[in-house]
A and B are shown apart, each in its own frame.
Chain A
Amino acid sequence: MEHAAPAIFVALEASDFALGIRKSLWLYPAANIGHIVALVFFAGAIAVMDVRLLGGLAATAPGRLLAGARNFAIAAFVGMAATGSMLFAAEASHLAVNPVFQVKLALIGVGLANIAIYEFGVRRAVDGLAPATPMPAAAKIAGALSLGIWVAVAACGRSIAYAG
């Protein structure tokens, strides 16, 4: 290949772990399906949280709804990271230099930063609110950003195969 990847990614792709994934008839497709299943749960949980932050689903107190959805989102994110690592390892030297993959990883970083800002800066103003209370502007911004960022991450993920 004419586009050279850093040695660490070449080594990862050549590792027994990555070779095992490529050699197996079912491991790669299983990781692929697992990634999508985890994505469905993640998207569902995130959508509930974002809609609540934007003021929807207002019949339930935000702290309570967010707490339940948060656990789903964390579990699903772990599932996505695990299956995504398998898919990445199998083709590490290509993916590391794939521009869409790089954008996707950067967007995941932005998404996690948005979550961190919410959790440490905004959450305390939201958790105690009663049902049907107007949401603080900072919460709405966090929810809107989250929706946009994660949709863009998904779009990038689907586009990787066509760009690198």
Chain B
Amino acid sequence: MMKSVTVIAALALLTGSAALAHHGWGSYDAVRPVTVTGPIQTLKYENPHALITVKGTDKVWTVTLAPTSRMDSRGATTKVVAVGKTVQAYGYPSTVEKDEMRAEWIQIDGKKYELR
């Protein structure tokens, strides 16, 4: 009995169900996709994930993108993903971080970039 309690506690801890989420797709709500459209306000073209803030119609979203190597290879370079450009980002809202989402794809200047 004690043993199974310990195992369950360890699993709960490791899967981090109650914890804050940051990366991976696990802590994003895939059944509630959102599309955010607006100008890019800030850009961090950094590993492990590039990050932009987008001024949507309702609020400013933090949009988590892909690792920089994948961004580059898909064509989403710093020339494309730049502050001031209008972006359409389709993705999933974080279940833990307020106003944060992870983008499945983004569209800039009429071109779509898959990020997954």
Contacts and interface: CB of A to CB of B under 8 A. Distances in A.
Bound pair (A, B):
yes
Interface of A: 1-3, 19, 21-29, 90-91, 94, 97-100, 103, 152, 155-156, 159, 161-164
- Chain B contact patch, size range: 20 to 34
Contact of B27 (A22, A28, A162): A162
B67 interface: yes
Given A90-B48, A98-B20, A2 B14 contact: no
Given A2-B98, A25-B72, A164-B22, A90 B15 contact: no
Interface of B: 10, 13-16, 19-24, 26-27, 44-48, 67-69, 72, 97-98
B20 A162 contact: no
A140 to B, nearest CB: 20
Nearest to B47: A28
Given A22-B44, A100-B16, 11 more contacts: A2-B98, A19-B46, A23-B46, A98-B22, A100-B13, A161-B22, A162-B15, A162-B16, A162-B26, A163-B14, A163-B15
